Structure 1
């Protein structure tokens, strides 16, 4: 079982989650009928994910100039090992899960969603890990974004696992 938000500091130093973000106001959110409902998830957890997801957007925007430079380099290489391509796929999938949780939408199968999120490695993906290791100092905004994306992924897994465990 994954405990929601047991890590205040991501093991890779991605983000220290401030206490204020953990203690956001509780309030009911309407759930939707059918599938696994997420209305039993504490509002502070949902709000925390919302804040993390919003921060990820800001970090993504901050990395725009760096992404442009990386794109130009990898375009010339015609390399299948394109870190931006991998990053975009991860961002789309992880972002989709985060948005569904934040919006209290249903999931047809929580186990399937959790499994998929667990397979969507960010910092441990071979292409992204190599990029961070070899070029992280050159592109700190991209690396910061990848760390935040990993933080969003881990929090989403924790929330979905808690919802699954609560229904059992």
Structure 2
């Protein structure tokens, strides 16, 4: 995905986060790691041990369910467009993995 393209925006967001009680970049990093891990499992493994359990975990992993992330994302729609596109792609990948596992 286009994470390197977000470098300038990540720097700008890090400066903004200094005055906040939460970290948007931290949430995105954890979300990225989790989704990449599940995607790697699907690509590498012929058979996953418990697809329904993985689907349940992925359904809980919705970044937009985090209230402060949701507020940040939707309250300033024109800010940080590259980061937001990156998150949208990751979330789409999460949904694709869920769909794939449901159809096994």
Normalised by the length of structure 2, the TM-score is: 0.88
1:156 has 2:100 as partner: no
The answer on whether the counterparts of 1:122 and 1:128 sit within 8 Å (CA) in structure 2 is: yes
- Counterparts of 1:153 and 1:113, CA distance in 2: 11
- 1:64 matched to 2:1: no
RMSD: 1.6
Q: Which structure's residues are more often helix, by fraction?
A: 2
| Distance verdict in 2 for CA 1:78–1:123, change over 3 Å | closer
**Aligned equivalent of 1:77:** 19
Runs of 5+ unmatched residues, structure 2: none
After superposing on structure 2, the runs of 4+ consecutive aligned residues of structure 1 that deviate more than 6 Å are none
| Residues 35-69 of structure 1, C-alpha deviations (whole Å, 9 max, x = no match) | xxxxxxxxxxxxxxxxxxxxxx22x1111110111
Shift of 1:106: 3.8
Partner of 2:40: 99
| Contact 1:123 1:147 survives alignment (8 Å) | no
Cα separation, 1, equivalents of 2:42 and 2:58: 13
Q: Does 1:146 align with 2:87?
A: yes
Gaps in structure 1 of 5+ consecutive residues? 1-56, 164-168
**What is the rounded CA distance, in whole Å, between the counterparts of 2:66 and 2:84 in structure 1?**
13
